[in-house]
Amino acid sequence: MTSLALAASDALRGAGLRVTESRSAVYEALRSAPHASADDVYERIRVHVPGTSRQSVYNALGDFADAGLVRRIEPAGRPMLFELRVDDNHHHLVCTGCGAVEDIDCAVGAAPCLVPSDDHGYTIAAAEVTFWGVCPACRSARP
């Protein structure tokens, strides 16, 4: 067992999840590809974990989300993405051309980093900002 696999099993156990081969593989895939969709994860692990189904990847990601192990991000018009970086209220920059996603650190390092002009009496727990733009690769590919 590699040290990476060991870390995945520790993380799974730490979140109260039973360690399975496909869960460990999903966790590792997210570590090497942050902001991956369920289909991205499946494509990454299917060669390494024969017998893994798309459904088992969806199930693992759902379990991870319930356990607080992953964060779901949903840029408008894009498939839902998953990442292991949780609980730091960071934001995202999304390329309108190729869909590349970058992390943007929270402006003040604590949630919520933005104060709404009117909180309507709510207790605000988090602020989630999506910046949209064109990445350098897409910009240079443009005629």
Q: Which residues bind Zn ion (CB under 5 A)?
A: 83, 95, 97-98, 100, 103, 135, 138
CB nearer Zn ion, residue 5 or residue 100: 100
95 or 106: whose CB is closer to Zn ion? 95
- Sign of the C-alpha dihedral, residues 120, 115, 110, 31? positive
Asked if 24 and 61 count as a contact pair (C-beta separation under 8 A), the reply is no
CB of 83 to Zn ion, least distance (A): 5
CB of 125 to Zn ion, least distance (A): 18
Q: Are 100 and 116 in contact (CB under 8 A)?
A: no
Q: In the complex, what is the shortest distance from the CB of residue 41 to Zn ion, in angstroms, rounded to a whole number?
A: 15
- Separation of alpha carbons 79 and 87, rounded Å: 21
Residue 25: both structure tokens together: 């593989």
Question: 16 vs 109, which CB is nearer to Zn ion?
Answer: 109
Choose between 100 and 113: whose C-beta lies nearer to Zn ion.
100
Omega before 112 cis (within 30°)?
Answer: yes
Smallest separation, CB 53 to Zn ion (Å):
27
